[in-house]
Amino acid sequence: MSDVDRRPDGASDTEAHDLSEVGAEVPKAASDVPKAGANVPDVPKTGADVPRAAPDAPKVGANEAEPAADPDPDAAASGSGSDGEELRRLRAEVAALRAELTARRGAPVRPLLPGLRRALAAVLVALAGFGLVASVVGVWGARTTLKTDRWVATVAPLPEHPEVNAAMATYLTDQVFANLDVQRRLTDALPPKAAFLAGPVSGAVQDYFRERVQKFMGTPQFAALWEQANRFAHAQLTAIVEGKSETVTVQDGTVTLNLLPIVNDVLVTVSNELPTLFGKQLQLPTLSSGQIPPDLRERIQTALGVTLPADFAQITVYHDADLSGFQHAVVLFKRGLVLLVLGTLLCLGLALAVSPGRRRTLLQFGVAVAVSTVALEAVLHAVRDRMLERVPDGLYRQAASVAVHEIFTTPRERGDQLLWCGIAVAVLAYLAGPGRLPVLLRRSAVRGARATASGARSAATSERLAEQAARHLDPLRVAGVVLAAVAALLVASWTAFLVILAVLAAYEAAVTLLARRGPAAPVPSGRAG
């Protein structure tokens, strides 16, 4: 068979030769074209050739072992659009991170600022807490000691206390009997054989005189004289402090509480009841308006027939030869009090401004107020004890202790209020915090409030309860008023009284609303239509 006959496609020999040359060139061209997925120009023919090509091709994960050279931006841009966009985004993130790292390394002191702010806020809030307590005490002291009306109102009820009453009566009785020498007069008046009775009789007369003084101290007449004596003494003290001695005469820097008008009226009372005690009827004026006659001492001396000492029935309140020093101290006290109040407000404002956590600062402020109140009360107790040590032990020290306790009633009440306010602020600030216990307490309070409200709503919607409230509305209202009145009689402060009024108003409103839910009262048949 010929070659033509052996080729099924009918190609000639010339065509076969051409095809053989083309076929020889095809494998050669195929070696130049990389197969799909190949990373190297040499295409391995078998699996044994793979290790030989590995040194020239990057392995999987080679980018993690050795950093490759940065790709050419132009080459990256010539690639696909998504790959170029991703490259630009990564470069921007790296640049931003490097800039942030450089900024942090350049300012190493910034992390210390929050700690310094917390420390500064703690110091300022401690000063503000102490300043608040000291300001309250200072304002009270300035208003009470430098205002005559407030001082008189403060000391007016002192003689009502038994200890003060007994001490004043004993003092006035001793003053009178020490200058009258009653025992010597009784000895001269008694027969020689009865002279031994002068001592017991003198003691009995002295006790009688003391009882009359105590009885007189409970009269409105004594109250007027006591108020006038304190008002005049305070006017003297104010004259020293403010340097207004043109209106009030102050001698040798001494301020005295003049009890001579009280002695005068007691002598008049005893002379009317027991005229033989002085051997004659005493011709003395009765002082009821509080006005002191200028010649009262001379008139008492003439009536008693004795010479009274200059300090008779005089209680020294203040004595200091250096008046300028005392005046300067009072001026400094006034100015310091103003600066203390302003400084307290400033410290509190700055503490809240610089604090990185205002809730924590408020908690510290409440604790500072409570601690400062307790500390200041301890200091005041120590000062009071030192003052009482200068008073003779016995009756007079007891009276002085009662007087000091009565005078300092207002600052004690303000101190208690500040203490509880500080505790309340600290507790509220703590409960508002993110701690586990505050969160648990808040959740428990919310659940309890919801349960209480649900119970109240169910009780309010109860038809039987509403029916009973509507049927007995008037007795329920009267009972609430009666209970509120009894509670008001048991309390002694305006704060408690206002709380009782608020509770009463809430009770009356609740009862009225509950009664409205009940069935309407039946209308009598005679009025229908």
Which tens digits make up the pLDDT trace of 34-60?
444 444 444 444 444 444 444 444 444
Average the pLDDT over 359-370 and give the result.
Answer: 92
Residues of the chain with pLDDT > 70, as a percent, come to 69
Residues 335, 340, 346, 352, Cα dihedral to 10°: 180
Residue 310, both tokens: 């200059």
Write down the mean pLDDT value for the chain. Answer: 74
SS3 258: strand
Of the given ranges (131-140, 194-203, 442-451), which has the lowest mean pLDDT? 194-203
Give the highest mean pLDDT range of 4-13, 439-448, 450-459.
439-448
Average the pLDDT over 507-516 and give the result.
Answer: 84
- Confidence band of 423 (pLDDT split at 50, 70, 90): very high
- Round to whole Å and give the CA distance between 136 and 140: 6
Contact between 429 and 366 (Cβ < 8 Å): yes
Separation of first and last alpha carbons in the chain: 139
- Round to whole Å and give the CA distance between 387 and 375: 19
- pLDDT one-digit tens code per residue, 286-326: 676 556 677 777 777 777 777 777 777 777 766 665 556 66
* pTM attached to this predicted model: 0.59
Residue-level pLDDT at 205: 77
- Confidence band of 14 (pLDDT split at 50, 70, 90): very low
- Confidence band of 225 (pLDDT split at 50, 70, 90): confident
Report which of residues 315 and 153 the model is more confident about: 153
Q: Between 220-242 and 323-354, two packed helices, what is the crossing angle to 10 degrees?
A: 80
Residue-level pLDDT at 99: 83
